[in-house]
Amino acid sequence: MKLAVAGKGGVGKTTIAAWLGDHLARQGRDVWLVDADTALSLGAAMGLPPSDIPTPLIDDAELIRSRVGAGMISLTPEVDDLPERLSVRAGNANLLVMGSVAGAGGGCACEANALLKALVAHLVLTRDQWLVVDLEAGVEHLGRGTVAGVDGLVVVSEPSLRSLTVAARVASMAAELGLCRQALVLNRAPSGTGSGAAADPWSSLPDIPGLPPLAAVIPPLPGLMERMLARASVLDLPERPVIDAAMDALLAALGAPPEKPQPAR
């Protein structure tokens, strides 16, 4: 199954992508994570030290030009060997650091864009693996041909009108490309108290056109907040059961096949 994760900057999108990839990998799935965000922080979120995170593909001008050319560029470059060549292990998953054209230096944006899109298309359309792509707020990596192979879009938001409005805009952009299987994750959403609506304040979100259906609500996690000043990894938190339950709800909302029972030991 191929999933893309998008949302406004600062809402925890990369954290959700890391949790989702780790959750699937711990189930024994063959998981590939793709960091296609300008911030390039997915490797750190997965617990990799800076020395183990590879140079983003977007910064490898020599490789880009060797595959795409310059001037009269190829829009269908050879990329079959690149996932294994450029990826590293991050926990039980494979990590491919691509970057975003929006964060690239000058000189080869067209060439870089062609190679990035070709590689994403290859990962989405031709490989039979679980794929989690950490996108930017937009969906520029997903062209009309590629998006047909993506099984679902995870849209991450904080519980604020501004964040939800951006989430709806991102979801609408994806829907225009044909990616209509979408689920909303509300991150850092405080739990209610009391009974009725006060106990579940997120049961009725603002009526914003394009906003995906709510699939999971993740409260503020003290374990994560305590760790963030000391370590970049978001894995192995004390609240893992809460995170796993949210990831299960998210996958169910997107129609993911159920986990295969593990053999008895």
The tens digit of pLDDT for each residue in 133-185 reads: 998 876 766 666 667 678 999 999 999 999 999 999 999 988 988 899 999 99
Question: For residues 43 and 64, what is the distance between their CA atoms, to the nearest angstrom?
Answer: 22
Q: What is the mean pLDDT of residues 49-57?
A: 92
* Cβ atoms < 10 Å from Cβ of 192: 14
Given a contact cutoff of 8 angstroms between Cβ atoms, the answer to whether 25 and 40 are in contact is: no
pLDDT confidence of residue 146: 67
Q: Sign of the C-alpha dihedral, residues 130, 180, 96, 242?
A: negative
Superfamily for domain range 2-48+88-100+130-253: P-loop containing nucleotide triphosphate hydrolases (3.40.50.300)
The two tokens of residue 86 are 């450029």
Is 0.95 topped by the overall pTM? no
The two tokens of residue 229 are 């000043």
Length of the chain: 265
Q: What is the mean pLDDT of residues 47-62?
A: 91
Confidence of residue 107 (pLDDT cuts 50, 70, 90): very low
Residue 104 has pLDDT above 70, yes or no: no
The two tokens of residue 8 are 């406004």
Question: For residues 149 and 179, what is the distance between their CA atoms, to the nearest angstrom?
Answer: 9
Higher pLDDT, 58 or 52: 52
Given a contact cutoff of 8 angstroms between Cβ atoms, the answer to whether 144 and 179 are in contact is: no
Q: What residues does each domain of the chain span?
A: 2-48+88-100+130-253
pLDDT confidence of residue 153: 95
pLDDT confidence of residue 136: 80
